[in-house]
Amino acid sequence: MATKELRINRQIRAREVFVIDAEGNQQGVMNVFAALELAEQSGLDLVEVSPNANPPVCKILDFGKYRYEQEKRNREAKKNQTIVKLKEIRMQPKIDRHDMEFKTKAIAEFLEDGNKVKISVRFRGRELAHTELGKVVLDTILQILTEKEVTFNLDKPAMMEGRMMSLIISPSKAKR
């Protein structure tokens, strides 16, 4: 009785449907009631798989098993996808060489994990008059990364955004 309720809730609006049976054989175009009767005889459900087709395509199958397999495929697809995050490293134009190398090590780890990195230089007060120093810092970091043989792509070159100069790099696809 539960399968009959399920079929009624599905509401197939067309008068005739193209039916595929449980073994995958095409039964052809038939009346909706005849298709429901055929599904009931086999003890399975009539499920509309392609409502936009003319006539709509219905398949005779176990709806609970079908939904379970569909959810299983979705979980598997979700497990295989990679989420790319944008990490940010901030510094000032008067940063020391050792501090720069330390932050570059963190940038290299972010890139290895497959994340994009936004490298920002923040200017305060009178530092804003010498933005070329920030460009030098960003160029030095890119140079240190290439010396360490870290492969990356420059997504967005160094640009001023208010009081900050920043660039965005992403991991190279060749390394992945």
Scored b (16 or more CB within 10 A) or e, 133-146 reads bbbebbeebbebbe
pLDDT at 166 over 80: yes
What integer pLDDT is reported at residue 6 of this predicted model? 38
- Please name each of the domains of the chain with its CATH number: 2-79 (3.10.20.80), 86-171 (3.30.110.10)
d(CA 3, CA 133): 73
Q: What is the mean pLDDT of the chain?
A: 86
- Report the alpha-carbon angle 146-148-149, nearest 5: 60
Distance of CA 27 to the CA centre of its chain: 39
pLDDT at 111 over 60: yes
What integer pLDDT is reported at residue 72 of this predicted model? 92
What integer pLDDT is reported at residue 4 of this predicted model? 41
Q: How confident is the model at residue 155 (pLDDT cuts 50, 70, 90)?
A: very high
What integer pLDDT is reported at residue 9 of this predicted model? 38
pLDDT at 98 over 50: yes
Which pLDDT tens digit goes with each residue over 35-64? 888 888 888 988 888 888 888 999 999 888
What integer pLDDT is reported at residue 71 of this predicted model? 92
pTM score, whole prediction: 0.57
The partner residues of 71 in beta bridges, in order of sequence, read none
Q: Give the residue carrying structure tokens 């398949």.
A: 59
Which position has the higher pLDDT, 87 or 3?
87
Secondary structure E strands in 32-122: 45-50, 57-61, 86-91, 116-122
For the chain, counts of helices (H) and of strands (E): 5, 8
